[in-house]
Structure 1
Amino acid sequence: MSAADISSVREVNFDGLVGPTHNYSGLAVGNVASMSHGGLVSNPKEGALQGLLKMKSLMDAGYAQGVLPPQQRPDIGALRDLGFSGSNGEVLARASKEAPQLLRAVCSASSMWTANAGTITPSIDAPDSRVHFTPANLQSSFHRYLEPQTTGRVLKAIFRDEQHFCHHPVLPATPAFSDEGAANHTRLCGEHGEPGVHLFVYGRQAFGDVRSGEREPKRYPARQTLEASQAVARQHGLTEAQTVFSQQHPDAIDAGVFHNDVIAVGNGPVLLYHEMAFLDEEGTLDELRAKMASPLIPVRVPLEAVSMEDAVASYLFNSQLLSNPDGTMTLVVPGECQEREAVWRTIQDYLLAGNNPISEVVVKDVKQSMRNGGGPACLRLRVVLTEAERAALSGRVLLTNALYTDLTAWVERHYRDRLAPDDLADPQLAGESLAALDELTQLLKIGPVYPFQLG
């Protein structure tokens, strides 16, 4: 790739739109925020507008910003597969009476957290010089297991040009290949257009002898397996020299760190992480240093500065780390970071005042997402694209002022401002959601991607 081509490469953050059925059902085991807010009344309209405002503010600041649509919810087809029959209204009513947790699951708006949508390898790292996509199977929880098929259709609709993009099948939806997508994957490099090293973080090993010194969490399940991470790397043609596989610290998982992106975030050469992020911290850093062409810049936050409780409650490490043209970096943190004195002090005195490229911290209100356990980094899927690849995108998915205006008006037309778990059985909500999504696919110009549109 020429110097001109390298300079044209940009990281695009594709944020997930918060769906019309956004609710607090406490479905995610091991996600402390999700479990603690289960049963509360949500505000889907506020959640969608908060997400859009975050996208627009980053676009206005000069960052490339894209949009991904929510899933079709409620997933009445899933309820029919589980034995519920009759009209849509009858299916919803029976599920509400006989299996309310199933109803809540098929109404989940969890696809807003597009960091779990899949794993992406940019063309500069792939042997065929195409961008590679593997949707995550998300088999560790039923409400997320429902997502991959539609996710795959959405990604193929947007990244359609086979000259530039390559799509791989979802891994087998079994415990051995449990895959949670980019929430457990970080690409580290010098500039985005330079070759990178892919850090895959896993919670457990499914086959063979457990690696020396490794152990599993005792309280909460480890969602990502080593075997899943290795399979995705093979699909994308990544070599041993391009990959590092590191086990997430089991004590962190037991503290509520269900994904690596709740305890570490990286971009360019910078890896911002808590000292409890990796079981073998020094081994992970040493291997990254040995394989990266540019010097690694680790930014370590010690336990004495930020406790595990504060890390999980504030989502400091689930912030967005954004590269600036001058080599500095901006950290986009949720408002909850200001509410924890130790966290805010660490940001000011340790990160901003430290010897690292982080020069600015921007605070964003994403409370509707945070109460379900998803911070700024959960809401975005990072895709590194050349100028030609950006030009090859299908649909109207790169955010502009006009698209922001249209999406905001769309939310105002279709979303409720109050949704309690009992409201999920309302057949009118299902109709409202389908009408909204049908209009959205036309607004984004991505064609039919939802089951109800495909017949």
Structure 2
Amino acid sequence: MKSCEVNFDGLVGPTHNYGGLSYGNVASQSNSQQSSNPKEAALQGLAKMKALMEMGFVQGVLAPQERPDVAALRSLGFAGTDAQVIQQAAKQAMPLLVASCSASSMWVANAATVSPSADTADGRVHFTAANLNCKYHRSIEHPTTSRVLGAMFADQKHFAHHAALPAVAQFGDEGAANHTRFCRDYGEAGVEFFVFGRSAFDTRYPAPQKYPARQTLEASQAVARLHGLRDDGVVYAQQNPAVIDAGVFHNDVIAVGNGEVLFYHEDAFLNTDQMLGELQGKLGKLGGNFQSICVPRAQVGVEDAVRSYLFNSQLLSRADGSMLLIVPEECRANERVWQYLQGLTSSGGLIREVKVFDLKQSMQNGGGPACLRLRVALNETELAAVNPGVIMTVPLYDTLTQWVDKHYRDSLRETDLADPQLLLECRTALDELTQILKLGSVYPFQIN
């Protein structure tokens, strides 16, 4: 049965702003308080979706969250009408209002961890929503994320959904941003690669000293158990604490994998040789030929990798067996990174072409091409069972661009978040979006 990997890109929400909420994310911190352009951000993301669709890749879209999250503010003691809650928060605790308005759900690589049916014990595609409990503004996402994913992948014969792990530090889970899968073919059993920043209970693992390690070993192990993965189909690796302290807050900022290939920076991991050997051995037993492409620090330093988001790219397989790398414009603007990429594609290796996309609005908040997409490997039957309303087509692209033009603002500053009208605009837009994407009632304002 033919299988493919579908990229479900996050649609940027109407409250996209630069609140500087993500400690450890260099771009988020350095661009804090700048004026954002939600309309431009959404259109940039849609343009990438359309381009990949036109290249022949199956492309989907994942809806944003309702923001500001008035229910979250109420749980913190603000009361009255929705407008009064927003006004009280703005007056008494502006940072909480900013957090409740974050459009960070656009980075759906953090939405969940996904295991294809070829890997799982019950033969279904498994989803575990990420608790994202390292950052408050992201920790409030998973209830709506679960409902949206449930509406997209509703057929219980083919899809299984798990609630987020306990929202405590020991089980910090950041989803697919720290998860990669290697396989000979998307429809065959593969090896799932979980990268963690620290262990919650085992002191033998070193931890970063400056920035938090968001993913724990224990969370990764729990997800593997929930998904019914075989021991010989899983590899755990620790992220280098030094690169976390350099701004590599997720593994997808320093490495990306696809098919049988891992593209990574020399300083990405601890015990790299042991890890590569385990990946090669386990994939080899499944008939695969694991290959790695290491970017030397002498050619591209960690700082250049973080600033350009070289590794926060999409590594895509083409029909002829070659691979395409989707990178942000910032890679072309960085002389050392661009020189490396030119040499990589001209060497006759696996990665034959690089395509550049302008994702400046997302990049300034710390999210590149890989952050914007959740990968789901599906066979033909499973793809047919996906809600068709979320699969990108030319008519859907046209409808969504018109929807963005109609509902999104051209400029948003922190002071604008205190305007109760923004909540009404967001709810009106999302109510229409659920009809466009055929999601049903997934947002709190539609349910309560």
Q: TM-score, normalised by structure 1?
A: 0.97
Q: What's 1:133 paired with?
A: 127
Q: Please say if 1:245 is aligned against 2:236.
A: yes
Q: Deviations over 1:35-60 (max 9, x none)?
A: 00010000000000000000000000
Q: What's 1:412 paired with?
A: 405
CA distance in 2, matches of 1:355, 1:271: 17
CA distance in 1, matches of 2:82, 2:131: 27
Give the aligned residue type for 1:58. Answer: L
User: C-alpha displacement at 1:291, in angstroms?
Assistant: 0.3
Q: What's 1:100 paired with?
A: 94
Give the aligned residue type for 1:216. Answer: A
User: C-alpha displacement at 1:91, in angstroms?
Assistant: 1.2
CA distance in 2, matches of 1:353, 1:99: 54
CA distance in 1, matches of 2:323, 2:339: 19
Q: Deviations over 1:343-393 (max 9, x none)?
A: 0000011x2133531011000000000000000000000000011111111
Q: Deviations over 1:278-332 (max 9, x none)?
A: 0111111011011003111100001111111100000000000001111000000
Where structure 2 has 5 or more consecutive residues not aligned to the other structure, the ranges are: none
Give the aligned residue type for 1:439. Answer: E
Q: Secondary structure at the match of 1:21?
A: coil
Mapped contact 1:299–1:356 kept (Cα < 8 A): no
Q: What's 1:224 paired with?
A: 215
Q: Please say if 1:80 is aligned against 2:80.
A: no
Give the aligned residue type for 1:247. Answer: Q
Q: 1:152 aligns with which of 137, 146, 159?
A: 146
Q: What's 1:308 paired with?
A: 302
CA distance in 2, matches of 1:65, 1:424: 32
CA distance in 1, matches of 2:43, 2:79: 35
Q: Please say if 1:392 is aligned against 2:392.
A: no
CA distance in 2, matches of 1:301, 1:162: 42
CA distance in 2, matches of 1:395, 1:101: 38
User: C-alpha displacement at 1:169, in angstroms?
Assistant: 1.7
Q: Secondary structure at the match of 1:316?
A: coil
CA distance in 2, matches of 1:230, 1:266: 20
Q: Quick one: percent identity of the two aligned structures?
A: 60
Equivalence map 1:223-372=2 (5 Å): 223-292=214-283, 293=286, 294-349=288-343, 351-354=344-347, 356-372=349-365
CA distance in 1, matches of 2:380, 2:216: 34
What is the number of residues matched between the two proteins?
445
Q: TM-score, normalised by structure 2?
A: 0.98
Mapped contact 1:192–1:384 kept (Cα < 8 A): yes
Equivalence map 1:63-78=2 (5 Å): 63-78=57-72
Q: Please say if 1:113 is aligned against 2:107.
A: yes
Mapped contact 1:395–1:446 kept (Cα < 8 A): no
Give the aligned residue type for 2:297. Answer: L
Q: What's 1:61 paired with?
A: 55
Mapped contact 2:120–2:230 kept (Cα < 8 A): no
How large is the RMSD of aligned CA atoms in angstroms? 0.8
Mapped contact 2:119–2:230 kept (Cα < 8 A): no
Q: What's 2:441 paired with?
A: 448
Stretches of 4+ aligned residues off by more than 6 angstroms: none
Mapped contact 1:314–1:337 kept (Cα < 8 A): yes
Q: Deviations over 1:77-132 (max 9, x none)?
A: 11111001112221111111111110000000000000000000001111111100
Where structure 1 has 5 or more consecutive residues not aligned to the other structure, the ranges are: none
